[in-house]
Amino acid sequence: MARLPEAKAYQALARSKETTRPVAANVARAFLVGGLISVVGQAFMWLYETVFGFTEQTASNPTVATLVFLSVLLTGLGVYDKIGEWAGAGSIVPVTGFANTMASSALDARSEGLVYGVGANMFKVAGPVIVFGTVAAFVVALVRAVVEALV
pLDDT at 1 over 80: no
pLDDT at 2 over 90: no
Domain count, the chain: 1
Phi, psi (deg, nearest 5) at residue 54? -75, 155
- Whether 94 is covered by a domain: the verdict is yes
Name the amino acid, one letter, at 103.
A
The conformation of residue 3, written as its DSSP 8-state character, comes to P
- Whether 33 is covered by a domain: the verdict is yes
Name the amino acid, one letter, at 67.
L
pTM for the whole structure: 0.72
- Whether 12 is covered by a domain: the verdict is no
> Tell me: the pLDDT tens digits for 53-99?
999 999 999 999 999 999 999 999 999 999 999 998 888 887 898 88
Q: Could you tell me the residue range of the domain that residue 62 belongs to?
A: 25-125
Q: Are 67 and 99 in contact (CB under 8 A)?
A: yes
Higher pLDDT, 23 or 9: 23
Q: Are 96 and 70 in contact (CB under 8 A)?
A: yes
Distances (CA, A) of 89 to 24, 34, 133: 13, 8, 20
- Whether 4 is covered by a domain: the verdict is no
- Whether 6 is covered by a domain: the verdict is no
**pLDDT score recorded for residue 48:** 97
Higher pLDDT, 151 or 58: 58
> Tell me: the pLDDT tens digits for 92-120?
887 898 888 888 888 888 888 888 888 77
- Whether 112 is covered by a domain: the verdict is yes
**C-alpha to C-alpha distance for 73 and 102, rounded to whole angstroms:** 12
- Whether 109 is covered by a domain: the verdict is yes
**C-alpha to C-alpha distance for 109 and 104, rounded to whole angstroms:** 9
Give every CB contact of residue 83 below 8 A, 6+ residues apart in sequence: 33, 74, 91
Percentage of residues of the chain with pLDDT beyond 90: 55
Name the amino acid, one letter, at 41.
G
- Whether 36 is covered by a domain: the verdict is yes
